[in-house]
Amino acid sequence: MKTDRLIAPGLVILILVFWEGITHLLEIPVFILPPPTRIFAAAIHKAPLILPHAATTLSEIVLGIVLALATAIPLAIAMFAKPELEKALAPFLVASQAIPVFAIAPLLVVWMGYGIASKVFMAWIIIFFPITISLLAGFKSCDPEFRVMFRLMGASFYDRLTLLYWPWALPQFFAGLRVGVTVATIGAVIGEWVGAQQGLGYLMIQSNARLQTDLVFAAILWLAAMGLGMWVLVGLLEKKFVQWK
Amino acid sequence: MLQVSGATKFYNRQPIFSDLDLVVDPGQFKVLVGPSGCGKSTLFDGLTGVMALDKGMISWKNKKVAHLGRHAAYMQQKDLLLPWFSLLDNALLPARTGRQDMARMQLAAQKLFVRLGLNGYESHYPHEVSGGMRQRCALVRTLMFNRDLILLDEPLSALDAITRRSLQSLLLLLQTEFKKTILMITHDIEEALLLADEICLLSPQPMTIKERFVLNQPKPRHFSNPALVKIKAYMLEQLEKDLTCENR
């Protein structure tokens, strides 16, 4: 049990040590592959430069998530309440997933400009699908015997939704949200790569062009930390709202 | 009170039951006894409106109805307690969805918790209590439906023998104390003999009422009653006959 827990951090340390050693041993130029110590140093020393960019990216992601929740939840409920609606919309939802978001990123910048709107939109369309689908699947997974019981009670749709289906679907909803928050980062960064004035993606492109590779890695490190932070936050929310599991 | 006539249901063109007649009088404890898988639960599905009967008429208090969805409370083998609600909140569900006066209903539910031996467990969650406790809570919830007729579909068959005995006496309370009319399905002959005013012995495929037994013995009853022992032996014999027919 104790050794199990040590495997993951041990592996990370092993990789970092190997990385550090090989850059010094082979004298790899810093602009090709900086050693981890240098990346950590850059991430901390250049924080005043990185932080505003990180804040921009984070706000894009959070706005994207909020927008996705505000649209995915009502849509999932509507599709659950009216199966005809699900039948009508399902092909479009699946088709929307067949289009790679990266392909339309340049268009979004043309349409919505260099500001955060195009990135929020990118994040939104990426997260929207997993949340809708997982929530709908959660509603549908409800045991038919419970449905019968609620029907015999003469419960209204609102009551069935709030007392039965919503709590029933919560674990699956959180599973979808978990996937959503991690991939939302991808959406925001790609949007910034294509065209932006702020954000970690923008910083990476700029630093890459100037061969400031340590700064590129530092930006990636911050991005990873943000993604991990949101993952943990969703996990905490799940623990709070799904205590019975 | 409840009258079912000519009830028929097909499955893959095979009749599960056909032309079934059933009458339940007010205040009666009626028990249908039959082997597992003979279509008892399908009959209840038809009565509660989970699925429509192919033929037949249901009348409730001398009025024709499509099903008993609004007139009966239903309790099953599974307790169907929602894991995210406490026992008390689970019991209060019918009151909540029925838009009833919650303060009054809460008091009523608490009284029932005391009466059915759940005192002190109001704020426990279903996963924290035993199967017997959970089924008691399901029983409180069934009473909170506040309906005259209670349908019981093998409500105790998931419980161990000892827990089952104590819950059988609670089922009897439904009739004696809460003045409910009860229609129960079971495959437990002893359970039927302890509780019923009338037992309908069912035969399988298609399900028909083979024989009726009216039991006038006062309740609570005991197995040692020679009359009951005799009926039990006879019913077992009949059920075994059906099984050997089936195997042939």
pLDDT of residue B203: 83
- The CA distance from A187 to A193, in Å, is 10
Q: In b/e form, how buried is each residue of B204-229, taking b as 16+ CB within 10 angstroms?
A: bbbbbebeebebeeeeebeeebeebe
CB contact under 8 A, A155 and B125: no
| Mutation target among A149, A160, A168 for the B interface, most CBs of B within 10 A | A149
Taking the Cβ of residue B102 and every Cβ of chain A, the question of whether any pair is shorter than 8 Å is answered with no
Across all residues in chain A, what is the average pLDDT? 91
Residues of B in contact with A156 (CB under 8 A): 97
Nearest by Cα to B45 from B153, B158, B196, B143 = B153
pLDDT tens digits, one per residue of A141-191: 999 999 999 999 989 999 999 999 999 999 999 999 998 888 888 888 999
Q: Residues B97-117: pLDDT tens digits?
A: 988 889 999 999 999 999 998
Task: Tell whether B28 is covered by a domain.
Answer: no
Does residue A198 fall inside a structural domain? yes
Average pLDDT over residues B13-24: 87
Do B21 and B5 contact (CB within 8 A), yes or no?
Answer: yes
Residue A84 in this model has a pLDDT that exceeds 90: yes
Model pLDDT, residue B224? 83
Nearest chain A CA: its distance from B97 CA (Å) = 5
pLDDT of B2 over the 80 cut = yes
pLDDT greater than 60 at residue B248: no
**Is position B12 within any domain?**
no
* CB contact A167 to B (< 8 Å): yes
Q: Which domain does B140 fall in, by range?
A: 79-146
Count of domains observed in chain A:
1
% of chain A beyond a pLDDT of 70: 99
Tens-digit pLDDT profile for residues A40-83: 999 999 999 999 999 999 999 999 999 999 999 999 999 999 99
Across the interface, of B50, B96, B127, the residue whose CB is closest to A244 is B127
User: Containing H/E element for A238?
Assistant: helix A213-241
Dist CA B41 CA B36 (whole Å): 9
Of B70, B84, B97, which is closest to A155 when you measure between CB atoms?
A: B97
Of B55-69, B168-182, B194-208, B234-248, the range with the lowest mean pLDDT is: B234-248
User: Which pLDDT value is given to residue B221?
Assistant: 87
B152 touches chain A (CB under 8 A): no
Closest by CA position to B181, among listed B19, B24, B18, B6: B24
Residue at B11: amino acid letter: Y
Q: Which of A145, A151, A245 sits opposite B80 (nearest CB)?
A: A145
Q: Is residue A52 classed as helix, strand or coil in its secondary structure?
A: helix
Q: Which amino acid is at B22?
A: L
Residue range B213-230, pLDDT digits in tens:
998 888 888 888 888 888
Asked whether the predicted pLDDT for residue A235 surpasses 50, the reply is yes
| B48:A148 CB<8 A | yes
Is residue B87 within 8 A of residue B139, CB to CB? The reply is no
How far is A167 from A150, CA to CA, in rounded Å? 14
Partner residue facing B48 (CB), from A152, A155, A163 = A152
Q: Average pLDDT, stretch B27-46?
A: 87
Tokens for A168, please give them. 């029933």
Using a CB-CB cut-off of 8 Å, the residues of chain A touching B97 are 150, 153-156, 159, 163
What does the alpha-carbon distance between residue A136 and residue A172 come to, in Å, rounded to a whole number?
9
Supply φ then ψ for residue A212, to 5 degrees.
-90, 70
B50/A151 Cα distance (integer angstroms): 9
Q: How far apart are CA A195 and CA A153, in angstroms?
A: 56
pTM of the shown model: 0.85
CA A135 to chain centre: 16
Per-residue confidence (pLDDT) for residue A196, from 0 to 100: 87
DSSP element (H, E) containing B14: strand B14-24
Confidence label for B8 from pLDDT (cuts 50, 70 and 90): confident
CB contact under 8 A, A152 and B69: yes
What tens digit of pLDDT does each residue of B150-189 get?
999 999 988 888 888 889 999 999 999 999 999 999 988 9
Residues whose CB is less than 8 angstroms from the CB of residue B124 and which lie 6 or more positions away in sequence, other chains included: B86, B87
For chain B, the domain total comes to: 1
Average pLDDT estimate for A134-142: 94
Residue B40 maps to a domain: no
The chain B residue lying nearest A160, using CA atoms, is: B97
b or e along B18-40 (b: 16 or more beta carbons within 10 Å of the residue's beta carbon)? bebebebeeebbbbbbbbeebbb
A153: nearest CB among B49, B82, B93: B93
Q: Is residue B217 part of a domain?
A: no
Do the Cβ atoms of A153 and B98 come within 8 Å?
A: yes
Q: Is residue B87 over pLDDT 50?
A: yes
The pLDDT of residue B38 is 75
Residue B246 is predicted with a pLDDT of 56
Q: Does residue A130 have a cis bond before it (omega within 30 degrees)? A: no
Q: How far from the centroid of its chain's Cα atoms is residue A14's Cα?
A: 28
Q: Note whether A84 contacts B: Cβ–Cβ < 8 A.
A: no
Instruction: Please give the C-alpha separations between residue A232 and each of A30, A54, A56, A181, B81, in angstroms, as whole numbers.
Output: 33, 18, 20, 10, 31
User: Percent of chain B, pLDDT > 70?
Assistant: 98
Q: Which domain holds residue A140?
A: 35-241
CB-closest option in A145, A159, A245 to B97: A159
What's the pLDDT band for A1 if we cut at 50, 70, 90?
low
Provide, as residue numbers in chain B, all residues whose Cβ is less than 8 Å from the Cβ of A148.
48, 50, 74
Asked, for residue B88, whether it belongs to a domain, the answer is: yes
| pLDDT score for A97 | 80
Classified as helix, coil or strand, B163 is helix
Asked if residue A20 belongs to a domain, the reply is no
* pLDDT for B158: 86
Burial tier of A212 (Cβ tally within 10 Å: 0-12, 13-18, 19+) = buried
pLDDT of amino acid B31: 95
Place of tokens 């399905």: B185
- Whether B129 and chain A come into contact, CB under 8 Å, resolves to no
Q: What is the CATH number of the domain that holds A198?
A: 1.10.3720.10
Please report whether residue B230 resides in a domain: no
Residue A151 in contact with partner chain B when CB distance is under 8 A: yes
CB atoms within 10 A of CB B13: 5
Domain membership flag for residue B65: no
Q: Is residue A227 part of a domain?
A: yes
Check CB contact of B74 with chain A, cutoff 8 Å: yes
| pLDDT for A45 | 92
Residue B139 has pLDDT above 60, yes or no: yes
Closest CA to A194 of A99, A69, A106: A106
pLDDT, residue A2, reads: 67
State residue A16's pLDDT score: 93
- CA distance between the termini of chain A: 23
How many CB atoms neighbour CB B123 within 10 A? 10
Residue B205, pLDDT above cutoff 80: no
